[in-house]
């Protein structure tokens, strides 16, 4: 920053002063992480849905078993993408520790998805079997509602507990004034 004749500081040329710039400065790293997490999650989501449907249609698996196996495979793909791309800039705390915590929190996320599927398929399905015991209803409850709720939990827990310490370039700058 430079100082004008009146003593006011002016931002460097090409920068935007104001609240939007302050938000970008403060949360830009989080937006980038969310974008990468979303990309990795999107790939894992496609794998999860494809396997879920193959297991039910082609192999005749029960819906909860099919969802559990499909999610475990998709989670392995997501772990690799998140560790080596989404949070590659963060300090490492050991592959074994990260892997175990990742799958622990992923199991909790899976439980959230399975709970949504079970409530729909078995709970509501006992009342309206023609509606809630269908492949469409299972896909909506497991792959839309359950995945959305589980993904929100996963992002928070992975960022907070698995891929822990931010690297130096990740920490937001704190502006201080000298008096």
Chain segment 85-136, per-residue pLDDT in tens: 887 777 677 888 888 898 899 889 889 988 999 999 999 989 998 888 999 9
- Residue 163 DSSP SS3: coil
Q: In terms of pTM, does the model score above 0.85? A: no
HSE on the CB side for 103, CA within 13 Å? 12
Chain segment 16-56, per-residue pLDDT in tens: 567 777 766 776 777 788 888 899 989 998 999 999 999 99
> 69-83: string of b/e by CB count within 10 Å (b at 16+)?
bbbeebbbebbebbb
Sort strands 2-3 and 9-10 into parallel, antiparallel or unpaired.
Answer: antiparallel
Contact, 123 vs 141, CB < 8 A? Answer: no
pLDDT of residue 29: 73
Chain segment 43-53, per-residue pLDDT in tens: 998 999 999 99
Residue 49: CB partners within 8 Å, gap ≥ 6?
Answer: 70, 139, 143
Element (H, E) at 55: helix 19-57
């Amino acid at each position: 920053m430079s100082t004008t004749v009146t003593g006011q500081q002016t931002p460097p040329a090409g920068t935007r002063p104001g609240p939007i710039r302050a938000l970008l400065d403060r949360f830009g790293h989080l937006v980038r992480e969310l974008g990468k997490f979303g990309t990795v999650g999107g790939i894992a989501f496609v794998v999860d849905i494809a396997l879920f449907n193959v297991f039910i249609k082609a192999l005749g698996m029960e819906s909860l078993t099919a969802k559990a196996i499909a999610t475990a495979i998709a989670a392995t793909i997501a772990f690799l993408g998140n560790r080596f791309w989404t949070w590659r800039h963060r300090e490492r705390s050991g592959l074994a520790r990260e892997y175990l915590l990742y799958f622990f929190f992923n199991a909790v996320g899976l439980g959230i998805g399975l709970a949504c599927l079970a409530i729909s398929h078995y709970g509501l399905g006992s009342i309206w079997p023609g509606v809630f015991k269908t492949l469409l209803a299972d896909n909506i409850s497991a792959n839309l509602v359950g995945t959305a709720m589980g993904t929100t939990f996963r992002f928070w827990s992975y960022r907070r507990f698995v891929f822990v310490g931010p690297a130096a370039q990740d920490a937001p700058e704190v502006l201080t004034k000298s008096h």
